[in-house]
Structure 1
């Protein structure tokens, strides 16, 4: 299916809609935009945040090799992350974990030593969608690449697991899964991968104080993602009374909550993708990251038909988004 464009542009659209609401209280967003949230891009171009910028960095690293070797891809990711960190356009409230890790990556040592191992922030998976779009990756490669790109900055096991699940969700939606089926597919993936540590991709990352082995390290991440999916399923089983989605599935500052809250908005608005972006942007939490993932999921499912045609030329980085989409369409 040819939905890479819809996914990447949807991600950027959600990011742009969530940019002005990220640090507002829900009541303030509702007062400014109404209870449905913002439905129109602002500005020419409509600016995005570090979420889209880092997604493009991941896309650039992936475009270099058809079948990436872990060491080569790690260096490509390092190079593109450092280019982002040094860019004058990196002025969109970038995450502290990404900045801290990039400062360490710039020293040239092993990336495992640069990673912020205590962080499971959503910076790990708000940028992972391109991994789910590469059609020739098998599931083992998708898993390894997803976790590697997360691990360079966010070394917590939940950041790794949530990144793999986010990319896997993009993959299955692009291949034709219905949005309401995704939670069950992710839950099955959690159980299947619970004790799988990707040694070839992650190397010594698991070697942290208090851990006896890689299984103990990685299982914690999958268990926390399962808990987030439990909240998602409970929210979807209940009537939708409106209001802030973060009340049900978390504020999205951490990776598993960003994934689950974005999926909540995507499933609830499967028939109104722009409404899904608006609802995701109208949150008390990390609105731009939640909305960018919502856009990635809806765009992977429905392609460019999900989005207003005039937005294509309005969004910042449109040429880069289109160029990477062509590689994987």
Structure 2
């Protein structure tokens, strides 16, 4: 495999972060709503939408606004860069707690997810990393914010899995939480390593990368993330669009559980690999944890396709509305990556 050019890697890394934000923004108005309610309230999702006044998490939020998925990914990116590729647990806990306080002060209902909230509450009550505050964290919070780790670490050499655990165990120290994060990080990193890698082959490699981490951290009952990624991808292959959404909503599941939402994101990314923006629009209308499913799918597809995947007007709106500046983050994260490739 020929090492890709810096220009190609930079384009794809930027598209992964921007794709995460676009998916997040598309799913913002529909998050935590049933598929039926989304259809009644919004109809088909074909672009960025304002949230309705009775949106359960983001009432009346402006079109293009991101949620905790993007904001926590940016937080992870900044901590990784500042720490030279490492995130100190105490610093991470303080940063997450400060982030939630800032959100609450602004009147937002989009606060820490259940696994992260429980871990941070334990730390604020005096628990240290040795007390394993993330020992019951099984939801998708680690997976939704792990994309910067996939950018900062190459997929070969073993350092990626170690970095995933370091960035996730504070809040999601279970086989489910860690393996889900590993799958997303590996999908992003693998696409940066090999521009010729198909989205389908990347998903298979990501499932391979997830499997060893199912035996790391605490065991909690739940289907194998690795096995369910493979199964979900096969389940939707070749299905008509409406049947794909039925299968994800009714069979795979679209909740915050890692073993549901992460396989759902991979299934959409592989089934609609050649139409990335449409894949994210479908994620936004599938129901359940739409913002996270769309954000993960956006990171994966951006890493494979580069910035050409995303409509320029949508990119401009999301970056402007949220005052996002991905370039310095990408530069810092790729600096870490290139150190490990020398």
Superposition TM-score tier, normalisation by shorter sequence: 0.7 to 0.9
| Comparing 242-251 and 281-290, the one that deviates more | 242-251
Aligned to 2:5: none
Aligned to 1:186: 206
Query: Is 1:299–2:317 an aligned residue pair?
Result: no
Give the direction of change, closer, same or farther, for the CA distance of 1:323–1:317 in structure 2 (3 Å limit): farther
Which of 87, 94, 114 aligns to 1:79? It is 94
Any stretches of 5+ residues in structure 2 without a counterpart?
1-8, 51-60, 335-342
In the alignment, the residues of structure 2 paired with residue 285 and residue 196 of structure 1 have an alpha-carbon distance, to the nearest angstrom, of 28
Deviations 1:241-288 (A, max 9, x none): 413433342214112322211111111222211101101111221111
Aligned to 2:30: 21
In the alignment, the residues of structure 1 paired with residue 129 and residue 269 of structure 2 have an alpha-carbon distance, to the nearest angstrom, of 34
Query: Is 1:117–2:120 an aligned residue pair?
Result: no
1:85-234 pair list within 5 angstroms: 85-87=100-102, 88-89=105-106, 91-94=108-111, 95-107=113-125, 109-113=127-131, 115-135=133-153, 139-175=157-193, 176=195, 177-190=197-210, 193=212, 197=216, 206=218, 217=219, 224-234=224-234
Does the 8 A contact of 1:131 with 1:167 survive in 2?
Answer: yes
Aligned to 1:265: 268
* Structure showing greater relative contact order (alpha-carbon pairs closer than 8 Å, 6 or more residues apart): 1
- SS of residue matched to 2:324: helix
Task: Give the C-alpha shift of residue 57 in structure 1.
Answer: 1.3
Task: Give the C-alpha shift of residue 139 in structure 1.
Answer: 4.4
In the alignment, the residues of structure 2 paired with residue 305 and residue 230 of structure 1 have an alpha-carbon distance, to the nearest angstrom, of 27
In the alignment, the residues of structure 2 paired with residue 166 and residue 58 of structure 1 have an alpha-carbon distance, to the nearest angstrom, of 15
Aligned to 1:323: 328
Aligned to 1:211: none
- SS of residue matched to 1:39: coil
Does the 8 A contact of 2:127 with 2:133 survive in 1?
Answer: no
In the alignment, the residues of structure 1 paired with residue 14 and residue 107 of structure 2 have an alpha-carbon distance, to the nearest angstrom, of 24
- SS of residue matched to 1:284: coil
Aligned to 1:7: 16
Q: Number of matched residues?
A: 305
Which of 303, 312, 325 aligns to 2:315? It is 312
**How large is the RMSD of aligned CA atoms in angstroms?**
2.7
Which of 59, 71, 82 aligns to 2:77? It is 59
- SS of residue matched to 2:82: coil
Task: Give the C-alpha shift of residue 133 in structure 1.
Answer: 0.4
Does the 8 A contact of 2:176 with 2:259 survive in 1?
Answer: yes
1:268-283 pair list within 5 angstroms: 268-283=271-286
Give the direction of change, closer, same or farther, for the CA distance of 1:283–1:173 in structure 2 (3 Å limit): same
In the alignment, the residues of structure 2 paired with residue 24 and residue 136 of structure 1 have an alpha-carbon distance, to the nearest angstrom, of 36
In the alignment, the residues of structure 2 paired with residue 290 and residue 147 of structure 1 have an alpha-carbon distance, to the nearest angstrom, of 21
Aligned to 1:39: 47
Give the direction of change, closer, same or farther, for the CA distance of 1:225–1:133 in structure 2 (3 Å limit): same
Aligned to 2:289: 286
Give the direction of change, closer, same or farther, for the CA distance of 1:65–1:185 in structure 2 (3 Å limit): same
Which of 253, 258, 261 aligns to 1:255? It is 258
Task: Give the C-alpha shift of residue 107 in structure 1.
Answer: 4.3
In the alignment, the residues of structure 2 paired with residue 195 and residue 103 of structure 1 have an alpha-carbon distance, to the nearest angstrom, of 25
Give the direction of change, closer, same or farther, for the CA distance of 1:111–1:226 in structure 2 (3 Å limit): same
Task: Give the C-alpha shift of residue 144 in structure 1.
Answer: 1.7
Any stretches of 5+ residues in structure 1 without a counterpart?
198-204, 207-216
Does the 8 A contact of 2:254 with 2:289 survive in 1?
Answer: yes
Give the direction of change, closer, same or farther, for the CA distance of 1:317–1:229 in structure 2 (3 Å limit): same
Task: Give the C-alpha shift of residue 17 in structure 1.
Answer: 0.9
- SS of residue matched to 1:12: helix
